Amino acid sequence: MQSQIEANEERLKYLEKLGEQLPDLMAHESAKWAEVYKDGALSTKVKRLIALGIALRARCDNCIMGQTMRALDAGASKEEILETISVNMAMSGTTGIAESLKVLKLLDELEKL
C-alpha cells in the first residue's frame, strides 16, 4: 500500500504536469485558489480546515491529502485537524470515520500523531 506522503508527492507531480498541458486554465485556477484562501473574515487556516471537512465528505483522496497539507502549512494543529475530523464524523457517520483514517495515516507518516 502506497504511503500518503508518496501519494501526495505523486498528486503534486501530476498537478504540475496538468499545469504544463493546460497552462491558461491552471493559471486561472491558481488565481482563484489564491483569492479564496487568503485571509479575510476567516483566516486561511480556518478556510483550509473547512475545505478539509468538505473533502472528507466528498470522499476525494487527492482533496483530503491536499487540504490536510495546506491546513498544516497554514498553521493548523493536530488538535484542530482532529476536531475537523470529528465534525465530519458527526455529519457523515461510518463513512466519515473511514475517510478520516486517511488523515490519521498522513499525520502519522508526518510524525504529527
The number of folded domains in the chain is 1
pLDDT at 1: 65
Asked if the structure places residue 19 within a domain, the reply is yes
User: Average pLDDT, whole number, for the chain?
Assistant: 95
CATH code, domain with 101: 1.20.1290.10
pLDDT at 53: 97
Q: Which residues of the chain have pLDDT under 70?
A: 1
Here the contacts of 104-107 (C-beta below 8 Å, separation 24 or greater) are: 105/3, 105/4, 106/4, 106/5, 106/8, 106/65, 106/68, 106/69, 107/68, 107/78, 107/81
Asked if the structure places residue 33 within a domain, the reply is yes
Entry pTM = 0.92
Q: What is the CA angle 36-26-51, rounded to 5?
A: 35
Asked if the structure places residue 81 within a domain, the reply is yes
Asked if the structure places residue 13 within a domain, the reply is yes
Asked if the structure places residue 113 within a domain, the reply is no
Provide the residue range defining the domain that includes 103: 4-107
Asked if the structure places residue 88 within a domain, the reply is yes
How deeply is 5 buried, as exposed, middle or buried, from its count of CB atoms within 10 A (0-12, 13-18, 19+)? middle
Q: Over the stretch 9-38, which tens digit does the pLDDT of each residue have?
A: 999 999 999 999 999 999 999 999 999 999
